Structure formats: C-alpha cells, structure tokens
C-alpha cells in the first residue's frame, strides 16, 4: 500500500496522491488530510495529482471525497499538477471536479491562493 505524503507550507497543506491508489489508501488519505488540516488549522489544501497517469472513476471519486472533506472543514481545495492527457480523459468521460479550483503546479496553486487571499483582505 502506498504511503500518503502531506506537507505544510505557510498554512497550506500539500498532499501528493500516491501513484497507485486502492480503497485502503484512499480512506487513509482522506482521514489523514482531515486530521492534519484540523491540527494545523490550514486554510487550503493543494492536491497534487502529478503522479496520476490516468484518472478513472475511482480516482475521480477519491478526489471528490477529499475535496468535499476539505471544504467541510473550512479550507479551500485546489487540484494541481494535472497532466494534459489526464485532463483530456476526464473531459471525454464527462468527469468534473465540482467547482474545485485547479492550477498547473504547486507554485501556481500557491500563487493563486495568495491572490485570492489578498482580495479577501
């Protein structure tokens, strides 16, 4: 079973999805992200999907569950690092992320969060 990697950068959690995700890993991922989010009072979670070569319906549900849990805990989810072929496949399958913000990379995701935070001040 792949490890779940979660790091904190200036109040933002960065979660890297494992290359191979099964039911157990997905469940641990949502639980661990939720626990760390509360522990650190993070304001956002960047979900790095750059390891994903393909996003099927299972991984789509995992992303949706994770983003939903993050929102319910009061933080903003942002999906980062999606490969073009993954985005194309998701569009072709009619999958979307339910209004979750996206960014090309972790750096772009952090920059977007800074811009949005500045607008709220």
What is the average per-residue pLDDT within 55-68? 86
Tally of structural domains, the chain: 1
Domain of residue 85 covers: 5-120
Q: Do 38 and 15 contact (CB within 8 A), yes or no?
A: no
Q: Calculate Rg over the CA atoms of the chain.
A: 14
Residue 43 has a pLDDT of 94
Higher pLDDT, 28 or 109: 109
Give the number of residues written for the chain: 121
- To the question of pTM greater than 0.85 for the whole model, the response is yes
Strand order in the sheet with 44-48: 5-9, 12-16, 44-48, 76-80, 101-103
The string of pLDDT tens digits covering residues 6-22 is 999 989 999 998 766 67
Residue 98 has a pLDDT of 83
Q: Do 42 and 75 contact (CB within 8 A), yes or no?
A: yes
Residue 55 has a pLDDT of 80
Query: Quick count: other Cβ atoms within 10 Å of Cβ 70?
Result: 24
Q: Give me the chain's average pLDDT, please.
A: 87
Residue 60: closest CA among 98, 25, 28, 6: 98
Residue 2 has a pLDDT of 56
What is the average per-residue pLDDT within 24-43? 90
> What CATH number has the domain bearing residue 26?
3.30.750.24
Pairwise CA distance, residues 17 & 64, whole Å: 13
The string of pLDDT tens digits covering residues 63-102 is 888 999 999 999 999 999 999 998 998 888 888 888 899 9
């Amino acid at each position: 079973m792949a490890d779940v990697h979660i790091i904190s950068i200036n109040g933002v959690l960065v979660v890297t999805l494992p290359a191979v995700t099964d039911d157990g890993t997905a469940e641990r991922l949502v639980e661990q992200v939720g626990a760390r989010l509360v522990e650190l009072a993070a304001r956002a979670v960047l979900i790095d999907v750059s390891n994903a070569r393909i996003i099927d319906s299972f991984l789509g549900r995992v992303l949706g569950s994770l983003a939903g849990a993050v929102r319910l805990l009061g933080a903003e989810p942002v999906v980062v690092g999606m490969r073009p072929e993954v985005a194309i496949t998701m569009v072709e399958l009619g999958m979307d992320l339910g209004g979750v913000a996206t960014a090309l990379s972790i750096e772009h995701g952090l920059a977007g969060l800074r811009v949005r935070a500045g607008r709220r001040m």
